[in-house]
Structure 1
């Protein structure tokens, strides 16, 4: 996956705009866990080719066999692709992708119950997709009739998400696709990473359109996070009032403790994003790992438990990311009706249950001097309580504490003192209680 913070053109030279100076706020660094919600027209077909172990797709076919169900609107335009074939079979040649807007029934969506599951799973912030690359807006926008209030659900879904998230006491953010909007573009389907940046509009008209939509979102919802995707139109990167620099300045005026990501295509960003990527070590700059519970962000009904993270895998991923100075933005992809699929819900609830007992070793923590050990399944985090040592394999019954920490008192999450045995190499070994050996991760805090 691409690192977007390295894409900072065009070069305006001496005429370059002035950008805000805000960094990444402490609330964001303390939060550690957020939930993405990818929901849109793509949730109606809810389908993409299965990916995973044993599936080998040539690089030249990656877009025709895209793993992301939310890319259905692009993949269906690639004649002969599996998505194109399935669309003909299910909907017929006379139904376009945008016709799906009138088939979208969100009648099972209860925002308070939905957000309650996210917060119950440990989320400190929630970021729904307000407009994905398909161009369909999920709020009551004045910029286009291609929205969820005028068609399909006939509801302002983002307002419902916003109100429920605020009531639940979590931070609220918005995802917005700034430079890709297939509804107002006439380009061919994207079939390569090169096409991803070639087939997009950069003109002033579209730049103003994107700016107007983003300004609406800021005015209506005062989002704590502005999560832009796949850059911004080049026509909106200068010193104009409708350009990124001015937009972000007005955003921070309205939300002083707000934060943005790195996908604007300009020299300024907040946190870094890493999508479906394993990060091998601590990153000094605050960053966010993001992915779906399966191989897709949007719900893919073709996936089953072979393709989706279990609760234990999700917990271990959270611990790994946090130990390396990151936040985890995990995605839930609702069904079209607004319900959370059972497979996703199971993993979410398992993580929430684990965080209920171990949250102090995650929330508000920072990395230790190293994230873990080369040959041992262990991760470290630190807080005012001490150094938290996370065993990723508690079934082994033992947790080795490094020499730097061996003299400290160790306690398990329930407050009980850990039994330890000193070794000749300076390390100590903690005996993991039987009650914790079935957990995904067992945590000892060394004070």
Structure 2
């Protein structure tokens, strides 16, 4: 089969309903870098890349990039490493990480994830440091024993499936520092560091091993792919044959000679300048579209409107995916910000892939992360239950006459609106009541409005729109509306 024919076949694949209905997933970054668990907290990743500096990634806020960060002698991470660990090599953290596995209970994790309402879990099986979280049979020619003897991927998969969720894997196809360990300070460096030689065959064999051994419902690649499209398409075809209702993300850009040319100074400068402009324009990281993908994955940014393609916002609860002991309370999402973001994403037709970064020294999920998972679970279990299997409404975002932020979505024959009670003013009702006039909604004589718990809500057809008066129970209260239309 020709490369063009194979690509046409791949493009006939449709995103399965389970993924579009899911709305919430959990991402897990847990690597040996979680043992030092340290990164600077001065800047978010989008701001760093938007500035276009040559060595921007030396101050990467992502702790999972620790091994790269300490390759820059003057970086914050390098100074921290010298002061804390002396000349200890990064590879030594793998031993401490493995020792901590004795206390790891995947069932506890799965229960915490399921309680959020998440429908799928994606585990990092191999990040850029090349450490494999499963006992791979594919030999790394540069570091043969660089993998976990305990089958973290397999055990977590069983726990996740038993908890009623789907399981997926992340694989860093674009970078592996056991094959190319040059310091990466910017996008041009990153593209030039995509390994060649033995690596494309190694990566392909590992991804096929993950597919055949674990049948992941999500196959999530990162950065790019180290071989050409003609070499990649058969692997994707193999995946869809093995998992017909599987999903691949949008970070499978096949290798091309232009990527290697990014190591040349003029090309690197041009790539960095272009990337900075794109990052500023999109207000975050939005991967370029490869020839084939199922879903888009903007990073630490939410699209402004409903998208043509299915998408998920992927981000950590603080500024890092991996655990960062340097993060303070102000670096994390607040409860209100988490709920607002979730409603905003759902209203625009996306999923939230919320990252958890466990500790490396004891395999536990930090308290603040558990607290935010609980906040999300409390909301999806009561107010936000309607998000599952929902679809965008005609107008996803609005503002009430009283100034409340609004997010709309639809399911079956009902319209749902999440009302931000943190803003706006009440003009009627008792002290505990809230008046919200929905400019976007025109009621009919048969319109019914209920709270998320099914209680009837007093409403009238006001000149400005559908006016509702009720007693909200949480900052982002959800109302269900039937027999109404868009104004």
If the length of structure 2 is used for normalisation, what is the TM-score? 0.82
Among 405, 427, 431, which residue is 2:469 paired with? 431
Aligned partner of 1:285 among 296, 301, 309 = 309
* Cα distance between partner residues in 2 of 1:28 and 1:238: 25
Distance 1:38 1:190, change over 3 A: same
Instruction: Give CA deviations for 1:246-289 in whole Å, capped at 9, x if unaligned.
Output: 00101110110101101000401100110011321111211010
Equivalent in the alignment of 1:101: 94
2:221 and 2:252 in contact (8 A); partners too: yes
Task: Judge which range, 190-199 or 37-46, deviates more.
Answer: 190-199
1:62 Cα offset (Å): 2.3
Report if the CA contact (8 A) 2:135-2:149 is conserved. Answer: no
Unaligned 5+ segments in structure 2 are: 254-289, 426-433, 483-487
State the alpha-carbon separation in 1 of the partners of residues 441 and 416 from structure 2: 13
Q: Secondary structure at the match of 2:332?
A: coil
The answer as to whether partners of 1:35 and 1:331 remain within 8 angstroms in 2 is yes
Distance 1:18 1:400 in 2: 53
- Identify which of 242, 248, 263 aligns with 2:236: 248
Equivalent residue, structure 2, for 1:11? none
1:51 Cα offset (Å):
3.2
In 2 relative to 1, CA 134–403 (structure 1 residues): closer, same or farther, beyond 3 Å? closer
**Aligned counterpart for 2:124 among listed residues 96, 104, 129:** 129
Secondary structure at the residue paired with 1:122?
A: coil
Which residue matches 1:402? Answer: 439
Q: Which residue of 2 aligns with 1:295?
A: 319
CA distance in 1, matches of 2:105, 2:438: 46
Does structure 1 residue 237 correspond to structure 2 residue 228? yes
Alignment counterpart, residue 184 of structure 1, candidates 175, 179, 182: 179
Q: Which residue of 1 aligns with 2:476?
A: 441
How far 1:147 sits from its partner (Å)? 13
- Change in CA separation of 1:149 and 1:298 when aligned onto 2, cut-off 3 Å: farther
Matches within 5 A, 1:201-240: 201-203=195-197, 205-233=198-226, 236-239=227-230
| 1:306 paired residue number | 330
Please give the secondary structure, in 1, of the residue aligned with 2:436.
strand
What CA distance in whole angstroms lies between the structure 2 residues aligned with 1:159 and 1:199?
A: 30
Mark the runs of 5 or more structure 1 residues left unpaired by the alignment. Answer: 1-13
Give the secondary structure class of the aligned counterpart of 1:388: strand
Q: Tell me which residue corresponds to 2:282.
A: none
SS in 2 for 1:270: coil
Residue pairs, 1:63-78, within 5 angstroms:
63-78=57-72
After TM superposition, give the deviation of residue 90 of structure 1 in Å. 1.3
Q: How many residues in Structure 1 have an aligned counterpart in Structure 2?
A: 421
Matched residue, 1:422: 461
What aligned pairs does 1:23-38 form with structure 2 within 5 A after superposition?
23-38=14-29
What residue number does 1:357 align with? 382
Contact 1:389 1:445 in 2 (8 A): yes
The residue aligned with 2:273 is none
Q: CA–CA distance in 1 between the matches of 2:295 and 2:3?
A: 26
Contact 1:325-1:367 at 8 Å conserved across structures: yes
SS of match in other structure, 1:367: strand
Moved more, 122-131 or 138-147: 138-147
Give 1:381's match in structure 2, choosing from 397, 403, 409: 409
Deviation of the 1:181 alpha carbon? 0.3
Verify: 1:197 aligned to 2:191, yes or no.
Answer: yes
| SS across alignment from 1:348 | helix
SS at match of 1:420: strand
Distance 1:292 1:115 in 2: 18
**Residues 172 and 223, structure 2, Cα contact 8 Å, conserved in 1:** yes
Q: Deviations over 1:353-384 (max 9, x none)?
A: 11111343200000000111267500000001
Equivalent pair of 2:383/2:453 in contact (CA under 8 Å): no
The equivalent residue for 1:3 is none
Q: Take 1:422 and 1:384, find their aligned partners in 2: how far apart are those partners?
A: 23
Q: Distance in 2 between matches of 1:291 and 1:156?
A: 26
Residue 262 of structure 1 aligns with which residue? 250
RMSD: 2.3
SS of 1:35 mapped into structure 2: strand
Task: Indicate the residue corresponding to 2:452 in structure 1.
Answer: 413
How far 1:125 moved relative to its partner? Answer: 0.1
The offset of 1:47, in angstroms, is 0.4
**Residue in structure 2 matching 1:113, options 108, 120, 130:** 108
- Once the two structures are superposed, residues 128-154 of structure 1 have per-residue CA deviations (whole angstroms, 9 ceiling, x without a partner) of 100001100000101136999967864
| Contact 1:17-1:238 within 8 A present in 2 as well | no
